[in-house]
């Protein structure tokens, strides 16, 4: 077992499987590696045997006759019992891993995650809502899933867990993240036009950072709207590309005194910077391009990343940059 883990599991993890973010991911990979090796061996025996017999028993002359063979009981028992044993091993092994995966730990931190065309929203017990799912490391976390519209599926490849979000009922899954870092959450059930963009970040942080994050998020709701916008501007890394207190351009144009201006567009003509222009600039950066900046724009789209309330706060903040 130890050698198996060492050889196969490492090989899998380092080559063609996503990073292993949980212990369950390791047990899934072990089983998968076992299946893969058994399949390779069976394939070699089957195809190899076929080629060998085809050559050995090829009719060599016109009156060459093959011996008349009906069956061989020993052989038949062998090729029935050996695969049966292998299948039972796979079944038992799979059952143990699946049982682990589906038994919700009683002490888990519970997070409500709702799927909606086309984003996931996490809600914590203290009322914090977030588009990123932030969890503490080495702690059991239970995700309770719901859907506001159609079928979605919550999938974290690095954790090897997946569960459908079904309209009209709760489903759940759990994990215990063992590595700090950022992992992708995908929607794994086709759910409409922007299904492929239904991606969320799952951030695994230390317990201390988690507590800090949860407190600061819960305070955010009580701030004035423009103040909230300022916070989002920092946490969404807008500040890495935009100046807000002087007119110098960075990667993107300065947002200082932007509101109300006429922007010259690469597409031709101008556009007045109003609320809808700001909204479009943030949610669909490729819609219009300001003269002097690259087309296509390096600014990522925040469609599905920002809630309406966060977007309104950002716009309010940008309007106030005078
Ligand atoms: Cu979806």
Is residue 5 pLDDT above 80, yes or no? no
198 Cα: distance to centroid of ligand 1 (angstroms) = 6
255 Cα: distance to centroid of ligand 1 (angstroms) = 34
The whole-number average pLDDT for the span 112-137 is 88
150 Cα: distance to centroid of ligand 1 (angstroms) = 8
317 Cα: distance to centroid of ligand 1 (angstroms) = 31
118 Cα: distance to centroid of ligand 1 (angstroms) = 6
Is residue 108 pLDDT above 80, yes or no? yes
The whole-number average pLDDT for the span 128-141 is 90
What pLDDT band is residue 101 in, cutting at 50, 70 and 90? Answer: very high
pLDDT in tens, 230-288: 988 877 778 878 999 999 998 899 999 999 999 999 998 999 999 999 999 999 999 99
Query: Phi/psi of residue 164, each to 5°?
Result: -70, 140
Q: Mean pLDDT check: name the lowest of 14-18, 157-161, 255-259, 303-307.
A: 14-18
Per-residue pLDDT at 154: 95
307 Cα: distance to centroid of ligand 1 (angstroms) = 16
166 Cα: distance to centroid of ligand 1 (angstroms) = 10
What pLDDT band is residue 84 in, cutting at 50, 70 and 90? Answer: very high
Give CA–CA dist 145/122, Å, rounded: 9
2 Cα: distance to centroid of ligand 1 (angstroms) = 39
**Residue of 185, 203, 214, 183 lying closest to 114 (CA atoms):** 185
- Which residues, other chains included, contact 275 with Cβ-Cβ below 8 Å and sequence gap of 6+? 315, 319
pLDDT in tens, 24-82: 999 999 999 899 999 999 999 999 999 999 998 888 888 887 778 888 999 999 999 99
Is residue 204 pLDDT above 70, yes or no? yes
Per-residue pLDDT at 258: 94
pTM over 0.75? The answer is no
Residue 71 per-residue DSSP state: -
36 Cα: distance to centroid of ligand 1 (angstroms) = 30
Q: Which CATH superfamily is domain 224-319 in?
A: Cytochrome c-like domain (1.10.760.10)
pLDDT in tens, 171-201: 999 999 999 999 999 999 998 888 888 888 9
201 Cα: distance to centroid of ligand 1 (angstroms) = 15
Give CA–CA dist 315/309, Å, rounded: 10
The whole-number average pLDDT for the span 4-21 is 69
Per-residue pLDDT at 193: 82
The answer to whether the CB of 290 falls within 8 A of the CB of 264 is yes
Q: Break the chain into its structural domains and give their ranges.
A: 2-51+72-102, 109-217, 224-319
DSSP, collapsed to helix, strand or coil, labels residue 19 as coil
What pLDDT band is residue 116 in, cutting at 50, 70 and 90? Answer: confident
196 Cα: distance to centroid of ligand 1 (angstroms) = 8
Give CA–CA dist 136/209, Å, rounded: 8
Q: Which CATH superfamily is domain 109-217 in?
A: Cupredoxins -  blue copper proteins (2.60.40.420)
The whole-number average pLDDT for the span 199-222 is 88
- Which residues, other chains included, contact 145 with Cβ-Cβ below 8 Å and sequence gap of 6+? 113, 114, 115, 154, 163, 164, 165, 166, 170, 171, 172, 173
């Amino acid at each position: 077992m130890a050698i198996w883990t060492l050889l196969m599991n490492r090989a899998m993890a380092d080559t063609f499987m996503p990073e292993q973010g949980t212990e369950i991911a390791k047990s899934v990979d072990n089983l998968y590696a076992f299946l893969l090796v058994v399949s390779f061996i069976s394939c070699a025996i089957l195809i190899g045997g076929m080629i060998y017999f085809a050559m050995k028993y090829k009719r060599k002359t016109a009156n060459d006759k093959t011996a008349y063979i009906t069956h061989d009981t020993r052989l038949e028992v062998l090729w029935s019992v050996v695969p049966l044993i292998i299948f039972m091993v796979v079944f038992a092994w799979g059952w143990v891993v699946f049982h682990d995966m589906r038994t919700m730990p009683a002490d888990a931190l519970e997070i409500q995650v709702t799927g909606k065309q086309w984003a996931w929203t996490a809600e914590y017990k203290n009322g914090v809502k977030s588009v990123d799912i932030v969890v503490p490391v080495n702690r059991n976390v239970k995700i309770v899933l719901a859907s506001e519209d159609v079928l979605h599926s919550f999938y974290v490849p690095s954790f090897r867990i997946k569960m459908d979000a079904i309209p009209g009922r709760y489903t759940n899954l759990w994990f215990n993240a063992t590595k700090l870092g950022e992992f992708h959450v995908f929607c794994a059930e086709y759910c409409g036009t922007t299904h492929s963009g239904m991606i969320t970040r799952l951030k695994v942080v230390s317990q201390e950072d988690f507590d800090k994050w949860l407190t600061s998020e819960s305070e955010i709701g009580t701030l004035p709207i423009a103040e909230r916008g300022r916070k989002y501007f920092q946490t969404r890394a807008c500040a890495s590309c935009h100046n807000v207190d002087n007119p110098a351009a960075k990667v993107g144009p300065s947002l200082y005194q932007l509101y109300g201006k006429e922007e010259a567009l690469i597409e031709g003509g101008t556009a007045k910077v109003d609320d809808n222009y700001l909204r479009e600039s943030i949610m669909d950066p490729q819609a219009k391009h300001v003269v002097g900046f690259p087309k296509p724009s390096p600014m990522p789209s925040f469609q599905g990343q920002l809630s309406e309330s966060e977007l309104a706060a950002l716009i309010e903040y940008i309007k106030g940059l005078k």
